[in-house]
Every structure is written in C-alpha cells, then in structure tokens.
Amino acid sequence: MIQKDVIIIGGGAAGFFAAINIAEKNPDLKVVILERGKEGLTKVKVSGGGRCNVTHAEFIPSELIQNYPRGQKELRGPFHQFMTGDTIEWFEKRGVSLKIEEDGRMFPVSNSSQTIIDCFLSEANQHGVEVLYNHSVKAIENQGGIFQIETSQGQFLSKKALIATGSNPKIWQLLENLGHTVSAPVPSLFTFNIEDERLKNIPGVVAQDVEVNVLNSNLCSEGPLLITHWGLSAPSILKLSAFGALEFAKRDYKFQIEINFIKQSFEDSFNTLKVRKQDLAKKTVFKSTQFDLPKRLWHKLVLASSIKEETRWADLNKEQLESLSGQLTQAIFNVNGKSTFKEEFVTAGGVDLKEVNFKTFESKYIKNLYFAGEVLNIDAVTGGFNFQNAWTGAYIAAQNISK
Ligand SMILES: Cc1cc2nc3c(=O)[nH]c(=O)nc-3n(C[C@H](O)[C@H](O)[C@H](O)COP(=O)(O)OP(=O)(O)OC[C@H]3O[C@@H](n4cnc5c(N)ncnc54)[C@H](O)[C@@H]3O)c2cc1C
C-alpha cells in the first residue's frame, strides 16, 4: 500500500489545477494525481477547437452565475473567492497571457491549448506533484478517516481526497456507494436536428439576433442563429440546450420551437410589409430582402409563404402578407434529435449540490473528501464558463486541503 497526504482522482482540468495549488501552498504535502488515461488533460487539449477557451471576460459574480443552468445559486459565494479575474492573474503569473475575443471568450495568446497543458505539467513538476497515469480508480473506501483507494495498479492510502473525474459514471457509482446522491447525467450544449425545407441547402447562413421559444414550456433564448447541414446551432440554440437539458431529455429530443427572426411583433412586421408593398410595388418580393436578413434565408421564408419568385410587391394579397409576417416572427420548426457541438460539450448531472459545502467544496457527509469540476451537478453554457467552474472549485478545495 502506498501512503500519500492527498490523493487527487482525475488528471483533468480540475485535478491538475487543484494539485498545483495544494503543492504550492503547502510544499510539505505529498500530492498524487491518479489518472486513468495514458496522459491527462485530454479535454483541455481538444477544448475550444484546440485553442482552449480558458474563461470569460465577465467580472461581476452576479452576472457570471447567470451562465450556469445548474450551480447558479451555489457558485455565487465561490466566485467571490476565486473567479475570472483571478484565473487571468493565475495564468499571467505563470507566464501564460490570455486575450479577450469580441464575444468575451478568453484564450491563450498563443491560440493553442498546448500552452495551458505545458503550463500545468511544468507547474506540477516544479512543485513535486506526482502524476500516475494508467491508474484507473476502481474502489474508494473510507475507514476510520483514512481513504483506501484501489486502482488498476495498486492500493493507495490518504487522509484527504479530491474527486475530479469529470462526468465519469463509474466514479459516480462509487460515490453513491459512499452515501452521496448523484443526479442522472444528461447531455448539455448540443445543436438541434431539424429537417425542414426552409433550412435546406443554406448551411452557414447566420441570422444575427433572433428569439427562440420552445412550445409548451417557458424556455426561451435570444442571440445569433446558425443554419447547419443538420438543423440549427449558435448561441441562441446552445443556450436553450443547456437550460432545457433535462426537459429535452424527458421529451426524447422531440419538440417544437418558434423562431422570431426579426424580434418584432407579428403586427409590426405586417405593417412594415404593407408599407413595402406601396414603396417597392414594381420590385419582386424575392429579390428585395428586408429586415437585414441574410438573402438566402429571406428567399426561403418568402417561398415558404407561398409567394412565387416572380411575384411583385404590388401583387401580394392580405393572406400572403400575413403568411410572410408569420414566417418572419412566428416560424414553427419541429426538432427531431440533437447533434454534438464540437467546440464544447458537457454533461448535466453529478453529485447533488445540497451535499457539498461550497465554502470549501468538501462533502457534507464525508470529512476530508472534496469535489471539483464536472463531477458536481454544475454545468454552464458555452464560452469558457465550464472551465471557470473547474478552476474555482479546484482552487477553493486546494486552499482548504492544504491547511
Ligand atoms: C470537445 C470539448 C471542448 C470543450 N471546450 C471547452 C472550452 O473551450 N471551454 C470550457 O470552459 N469548457 C470546455 N469544455 C468543457 C470542459 O472541458 C469541462 O467542463 C472540463 O474539462 C471539466 O473538467 P474536469 O476536471 O471536471 O473533468 P475532465 O477535464 O473531464 O477530467 C477528468 C479526468 O478524470 C479522469 N478519470 C475519469 N475517471 C477516472 C477514474 N476512474 N480513475 C482515474 N481517472 C479518472 C479522466 O480520464 C480525465 O482525465 C469542452 C468539452 C469538450 C468535450
């Protein structure tokens, strides 16, 4: 049996961040990371399309928490201890500069996730953190305040343990055996599959600011909308997929959405179209795009309103004007399934938040057992918020573990 002071299970974002902070704060502690893979930080590597969206330029805790469908209330306090600004400073102090993109996402200046990995590996090495790869944890027991942790390669003992295994069902099962409750995992951050003539053959078209409502629910969102080969994506959809993750799973990813492409009321758009009928009388409707919509989307909506390519504005009847106004402001689409959003995807579900002390990230049931990252029932919309949860939890747990 191998004795350590602190065992960290999982060598991902949260695991490395915690280990480094513990070892730096208290160099006397023997800290080991047990990682099942032949290398760690694999999600960091592929994150943000290989660029690693480390955090987000949102510096007000009450605003930051709005991005977490699960964990919103619980993260308020922790963000007052360690949040985005602290993340930037942490990396900066270790030679990694971050830059802000127009939409607030923050990446290493190098534009490469390898910079983050190199930083972690070098810091872990410098502070004497031992990283044992190919050590898949199979059992966790707590006997008389000592953790006995069995991996594929041997037994480890420690007084303190941090679980940072992300969305790993086997570890959730072990935690349930220890008395914790785990909310069933469901996917979050996905795109909607839709087969519809209005979206056919126009992948890549973006409507800059739309409103999307899910019928028979109170789920709605606003923002850019991207038409893909399979359906719809971009922030307006991804936000919905995160906030509606549980609801959509219940409905087996079959539901209806209503899109307002121009964020105007039906009446207002109808009145505008009536004015256009006068002003543009001799022009064809098809060729005179309105409301700053992308041309190809306008074409689709015009045709969906039973208006022919050659129809002139002057020839539009009331039904056609109403139909076009409906397509612009109340267009219904049938969602039938989901697809992975490759830039970033996460799992909703994990250790029940009521069972964790968010001042320390320690279990309320088992003394000296800590959690950080996606193992908890916390997840966020896309934009660097999921990593921020990992950094915050890992940092705060580290401060308490190293005491
Ligand atoms: C493709 C992709 C891109 C992403 N991009 C971004 C992004 O740009 N920005 C952002 O904020 N978020 C992003 N995310 C989400 C982000 O990666 C996660 O929220 C984050 O990695 C969670 O950190 P974690 O340490 O909790 O878990 P992980 O990073 O998943 O680490 C868990 C580690 O535990 C190990 N492990 C699991 N089970 C065991 C076991 N039994 N024994 C030992 N080790 C075990 C795993 O091998 C893994 O190394 C992305 C996710 C994906 C999938």
With a 6 Å cutoff on the Cβ, whether 384 touches ligand 1 is yes
Pairwise CA distance, residues 111 & 83, whole Å: 22
Do 134 and 36 touch, CB atoms closer than 8 A? yes
Beta strands 130-132; 31-34: pairing state:
parallel
As a whole number, mean pLDDT of residues 113-123 equals 98
* 109 within 8 A of 99, measured Cβ to Cβ: yes
Residue 76 Cα to ligand 1 midpoint, Å, equals: 22
Question: Which atom in ligand 1 lies closest to the alpha carbon of residue 386?
Answer: 11
Give the atom of ligand 1 at the shortest distance from the alpha carbon of 385: 11
pLDDT band at 179 (very low <50, low <70, confident <90, very high): very high
Neighbours of 184 (CB within 10 A): 12
Mutate to test the pocket of ligand 1, among 134, 153, 386, 395 (most ligand atoms within 8 A of CB): 386
Distance 64 CA to ligand 1 centre (A): 21
Q: How many CA atoms lie within 13 A of 381 on its CB side?
A: 21
- Residue 52 CB contacts under 8 Å (≥ 6 apart), including other chains: 44, 107, 108, 112, 113, 115, 116, 387
Q: Cβ–Cβ contacts within 10 Å for residue 282, how many?
A: 7
Angle at 96 between CA 94 and CA 99, to 5 degrees: 145
The one-character DSSP state at 359 is T
pLDDT on residue 9? 98
Ligand 1 midpoint to CA 166 (Å): 5
Residues ≥6 apart with Cβ < 8 Å to 309? 284, 286, 303
β-pair type (206-214, 220-227): antiparallel
Structure tokens at 388: 């921020």
pLDDT for the residue 136: 97
Q: What pLDDT, on the 0 to 100 scale, is given for residue 111?
A: 98
Pair type for strands 254-260 and 190-193 = unpaired
The finding on whether 12 has its CB within 6 A of some atom of ligand 1 is: yes
32-61, pLDDT tens digit by residue?
Answer: 999 999 999 999 999 999 999 999 999 999
Ligand 1 centroid to 258 CA: how many Å? 34
| pLDDT confidence of residue 312 | 98
C-alpha of residue 13 to centroid of ligand 1, in Å: 6
Tell the residue number behind the tokens 């208006």, with chain if given.
307
Q: What's the 115 CA to ligand 1 centre distance in angstroms?
A: 17
Which residue has the CA at smallest separation from atom 31 of ligand 1? Answer: 12
Distance CA 200, CA 374 (A): 36
**Predicted local distance difference test score (pLDDT) of residue 98:** 98
Q: Are 220 and 213 in contact (CB under 8 A)?
A: yes
Cα of 368 vs centre of ligand 1, distance in Å, is 23
CB of 108 within 6 A of ligand 1: the answer is no
State residue 344's pLDDT score. Answer: 80
Ligand 1 centre and the CA of 193: distance in Å?
25
Residues in the chain: 403
What is the token pair recorded at 53? 């969206």
Residue 288 has pLDDT above 90, yes or no: yes
pLDDT beyond 90 at 107: yes
Q: Is residue 345 very low, low, confident or very high in pLDDT (cuts 50, 70, 90)? A: confident
**Cα separation of the two ends of the chain:** 25
The C-alpha atoms of residue 245 and residue 187 are separated, in whole angstroms, by 7
193 three-state secondary structure = strand
350 lines ligand 1 (CB under 6 A): no
35 CB less than 6 Å from ligand 1?
A: yes
Q: Give percent of the chain above pLDDT 90.
A: 98
